[in-house]
Amino acid sequence: MKRFTRMAGRLCRLVSIVSVLLLSQHALAAGTDAGTTVANQAQVDYDVGGAPQTFILSDPSGNSVPGAGSGALTTDFVVDNRVDFTLVESGLLTHTDVTPGETDAFIQFTLTNTGNSTQDWRLVFTSLTSADPDVDGLADTDVDMSNIRVFVDNDADGLEIGTDLDFVDELPEDGSVDIYIVADAAVTLVNGDVANMDIEAITADSGGVGALGADTTDDFGSADTAGVDVVFAEGGALGDGRLNAQDGFTVSSASLTITKTSTLISDPFNNTTNPKAIPGAVVEYVVTVANGGAQDATNVIVSDTLSADIDLVSDAFGTDEVVIDNDGTVTNCTEEADADVCEFTAGALTVGVAAPAAGLDVLAGTTMTVTFRVTIL
Q: In this predicted model, what pLDDT tens digit does every residue of 220-240 receive, in sequence order?
A: 777 776 688 999 999 777 889
Ranges for all domains in the chain classified under CATH 2.60.40.740: 256-376
pLDDT at 338: 87
> What pTM does this model have?
0.81
Ranges for all domains in the chain classified under CATH 2.60.40.10: 81-218+228-251
* Residue 314, number of CB atoms within 10 A of its CB: 13
Name the pairing type of β-strands 242-251 and 96-98: parallel
Whether pLDDT at 369 is above 90? yes
Whether pLDDT at 8 is above 50? no
Task: Report the alpha-carbon distance of residue 370 to residue 288 in Å, rounded.
Answer: 6
pLDDT at 92: 85
Q: What would the DSSP string read from start to end of 172-241? A: PTT-EEEEEEEEE--TT--TT-EEEEEEEEEEEEE--TT-EEEEP---TTSPP-SS--EEE-GGGS---S
Whether pLDDT at 271 is above 70? yes
Is 289 in contact with 360 (CB distance < 8 Å)? Answer: no
The hierarchical CATH code for the domain 81-218+228-251 is: 2.60.40.10
Average pLDDT over residues 142-158: 97
The lowest-confidence range among 28-37, 104-113, 191-200 is: 28-37
The hierarchical CATH code for the domain 256-376 is: 2.60.40.740
Average pLDDT over residues 180-209: 97
Q: Compute the mean pLDDT over every residue in the chain, rounded to the nearest whole number.
A: 90
Average pLDDT over residues 257-285: 97
Whether pLDDT at 50 is above 50? yes
